């Protein structure tokens, strides 16, 4: 049987340390991104230098070394650990006759392959075109090469072709942004419908491949009316899914919350991509509680927290209550689980007891200010009864001679709103 791995393109990954404290970690991550892009790492090349070359990123000797290793390994593509300028890429390709791809382009390719919804596809295409815009160059077409004998006429023709290409891309970006606004508007209406209910929203955030989707599916397992078609896609791979999923969790004690699973983060996430995905991350901005899922078995978990919180700040998500959910505790030697320490939980998303403890911590954070009360709504004001039945967390209902008798778990806003109908507070 043919080995499918033979079909994967073999590439070299390379980078310059330039005083990055987490350089080795970002190089490891670059290798994982290569695998996520269905490629294979043939060699890893590092240069320890305080700064990068403005012309070729690497020093001259390292450029020669890369070309020799690539030729010996029969590799034609080099993937670099930073975002390079268009001139750096051109100079490297010209001097080595190899193809170079920077980290940003690689991430954009991975995102492009993972995008399934119309919204995600539009967001990624906009980011890709914004990345390509300054990198359009006449020399990409042999007919546009300018020789020393070409004179001003040829140079002008090349520049005209260049401007035309850029104009086409700008028009395409404008068109895609218009399309995205329309899609975002539809999604925003759906989001407003959710926020018009009093059911609180919990948003899972965190590094890609930390286990957000597995955690979400674990939480869906505790849903009293669970069904398999509500589960989300999960795979041990960076950016396995880019699509935001929202599910309602109805628990046995009649408490409920909405749960969303957002796109994962990674270090050096391209700025254009962050801008494009701001609407996708709106679920996190609207959340009543964030659950940051962290792979505690990874020695770089502190870096992952830093990257997650930096990216959240970039999209305007700040000051939200947060649970730090240290997942994959079963893979960390000596780590006890499930264990709750304040706002931290050490757990395994594959372990039922862990998920039960996570649910309890979520409920504690979400419903600390809620109160279970009994309300009597006269039949002359049944619209209010219908409103409460539709939006609040109902524990029981009865119909008496005086009106609808409802026992409900109400938020502080609801307690104030329906205060005139409250008969008594019920101990939980």
Could you give the angle at the alpha carbon of 22 between the alpha carbons of 18 and 23, nearest 5°? 45
Q: Which phi and psi angles does 147 have, rounded to 5°?
A: -90, 165
pLDDT tops 70 at residue 362: yes
Select the more confidently predicted residue: 34 or 208: 34
Q: What is the pLDDT of residue 150?
A: 42
Residue 417: pLDDT band with limits 50, 70, 90: very high
Residue 222 has pLDDT above 60, yes or no: yes
β-strand partners of 80 = 14
pLDDT tens-place string over residues 307-351 = 899 888 888 888 899 999 999 999 999 999 999 999 999 999 999
175: its two tokens: 């068109």
> Cα 315–79–313 angle (5° rounding)?
10
Lowest mean pLDDT among 5-14, 79-88, 268-277: 268-277
* Average pLDDT rounded to a whole number, residues 91-108: 94
Instruction: Quote the pLDDT of residue 260.
Output: 87
Give the E-state strand segments of 3-106 in sequence order. 9-16, 39-47, 77-80, 99-101
Give me the pLDDT at residue 22, please.
86
Q: Averaged over 192-217, what is the pLDDT? A: 81
Is pLDDT at 4 greater than 60 in this prediction?
A: no
Q: Is the dihedral of CA 257, 261, 262, 264 positive or negative?
A: positive
In the predicted model, is pLDDT for residue 226 greater than 80? Answer: no
Asked if residues 207 and 264 have their Cβ atoms less than 8 Å apart, the reply is: yes
Quick one: pLDDT at residue 3? 47
Predicted pLDDT of residue 245 = 74
Q: Is this prediction's pTM over 0.95? A: no
Question: Which residues have C-beta within 8 Å of that of residue 78, sequence separation ≥ 6?
Answer: 11, 12, 13, 14, 66, 70, 92, 96, 98, 99, 100, 101
Exposed/middle/buried for residue 286 (C-beta within 10 Å: 0-12, 13-18, 19+): middle
Answer with the residue of higher pLDDT: 88 or 147. 88
Helix or strand run (H / E) with residue 184: helix 151-195
Structure confidence at residue 248 (pLDDT): 85
State yes or no: pLDDT of 364 exceeds 80: yes
Tell me, what's the pLDDT at 86?
92
Check residue 194 and give its pLDDT. 52
């Amino acid at each position: 049987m043919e080995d499918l791995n033979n079909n994967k393109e073999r590439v070299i990954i390379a980078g310059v340390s330039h005083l990055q404290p987490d350089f080795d970690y970002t190089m490891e991550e670059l290798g994982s991104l290569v695998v996520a892009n269905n490629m294979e790492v043939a060699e890893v090349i590092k240069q320890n230098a305080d700064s990068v070359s403005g012309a070729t990123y690497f020093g001259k000797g390292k450029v020669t070394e890369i070309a020799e290793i690539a030729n010996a390994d029969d590799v034609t593509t080099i993937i670099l650990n930073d975002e390079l300028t268009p001139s750096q890429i051109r100079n490297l390709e010209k001097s080595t006759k190899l193809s170079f791809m920077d980290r940003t382009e690689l991430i954009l390719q991975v995102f492009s392959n993972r995008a399934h919804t119309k919204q995600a596809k539009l967001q990624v295409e906009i980011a890709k075109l914004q990345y390509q815009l300054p990198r359009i160059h006449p020399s990409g077409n042999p007919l546009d090469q300018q020789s020393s004998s070409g004179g001003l006429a040829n140079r002008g023709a090349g520049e005209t072709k260049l401007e035309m290409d850029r104009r086409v891309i700008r028009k395409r970006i404008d068109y895609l942004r218009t399309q995205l606004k329309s899609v975002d508007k539809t999604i925003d209406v759906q989001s407003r419908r959710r926020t018009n209910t009093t059911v609180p929203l919990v948003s899972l955030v965190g590094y890609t491949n930390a286990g957000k989707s597995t955690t979400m599916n674990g939480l869906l397992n505790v849903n009293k009316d669970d069904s398999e078609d509500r589960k989300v896609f999960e795979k041990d791979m960076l950016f396995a899914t880019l699509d935001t999923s929202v599910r309602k969790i109805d628990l046995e004690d009649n408490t409920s919350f909405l749960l969303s699973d957002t796109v994962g983060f990674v270090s050096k996430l391209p700025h254009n991509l962050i801008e494009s995905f701001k609407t996708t991350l709106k679920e996190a901005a609207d959340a009543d509680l964030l659950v940051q899922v962290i792979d505690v078995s990874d020695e770089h978990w502190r870096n992952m927290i830093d990257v997650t919180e930096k990216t959240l700040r970039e999209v305007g998500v700040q000051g939200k209550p947060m649970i730090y959910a240290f997942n994959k505790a079963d893979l960390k030697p000596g780590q006890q689980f499930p264990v709750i320490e304040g706002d931290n939980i050490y757990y395994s998303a594959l372990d039922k007891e862990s998920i039960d403890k996570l649910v309890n911590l979520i409920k504690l954070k979400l419903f600390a200010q809620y109160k279970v009360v009994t309300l009597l709504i006269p039949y002359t004001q049944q619209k209010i009864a219908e409103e409460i039945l539709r939006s609040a967390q109902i524990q029981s209902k009865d119909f008496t001679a005086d009106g609808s008798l409802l026992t409900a778990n109400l938020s502080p806003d609801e307690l104030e709103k329906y205060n005139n109908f409250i008969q008594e507070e019920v101990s939980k």
